[in-house]
Each structure stands twice: as C-alpha cells, then as structure tokens.
Amino acid sequence: MGDRKRILVVDDQEEIRDLVAAVLAGEGFEVVTAEDGRRALLTAFREPFDLVLLDINMPDMDGWETLRLLKADDGLRGTPVVMFSIRGEIRSKVQGMQFGAIGYITKPFAVDELVAGVRAALAGQAPRSR
C-alpha cells in the first residue's frame, strides 16, 4: 500500500463514480468505490481510508445518513469526508459541515477542481466550492 492515499468514492451514478475514480487514480490515489451508503459503510468498516468523497443524493440511504453514521462510529469519526452534490445551495453546504464534513464540491465540477479539493482535504484544508 505504501504511502498512497486511499479514497472511498461513493455515488449511485456509475458514470460519475467511474469518472471520479479514474481521475483520482490517474493522480496516484488508491481508489475504492461504492454505489450507495450501505455499501460505503460496510467498506469503511472493513478497510481504512484517508478520505471519503460522498454524494448526497442516493436512494435508500442518502449521503446525510451515511455521513451521520460514519461520524457516529469511534473508528471512523476521524476520517475526513467531502460531500459532493448537484445541490449547490448554501443550506446544503452548511448542513454538510454541521454533520461533520470538512468540505463540499458542487457537481458538475471541473477535473482540476476535484483534484484540488481532494488534495486540500487530505492536507487538512476544507475544499472550496463555487
């Protein structure tokens, strides 16, 4: 594994999940994907991650509930989470921070914005959204 940063990408839309995974893998990150909140939690309980990139709008268990459960777990509480969603309104961004996310990236995003946001989050800085 070395010192490659491990990122869990959670999105119910396969094309977005695959795009984000390909971009981040191309930047040298180790990427694991999950298509919904339940699978994300199961994966996070089994494997350590340096960052979770979490979509909000997902069926069954949305990103808010997934974030709440991640932050409620003693072993996962410290894992940084960046929300990403088509919801660009301030209310969603504030809610994400109140629930424990360290950043918020609005879709659609530029590849450079995604990579910069992930690098900033891994460096302990909240990524800025537009």
The pLDDT averaged over each successive group of 10 residues in the chain (130 residues) is 84 95 97 97 95 92 93 92 80 78 87 93 62
CB distance 35 to 14 below 8 Å: yes
Phi and psi, residue 19, nearest 5° = -65, -50
Which helix (H) or strand (E) is 85 found in, with range? strand 81-85
- Percentages helix, strand, coil for the chain (3-state, rounded to 5) are 40, 20, 40
Q: Whole-angstrom distance between the N-terminal and C-terminal Cα of the chain?
A: 34
pTM: 0.89
For the chain, which domains are there? 6-122 (3.40.50.2300)
pLDDT of residue 40: 96
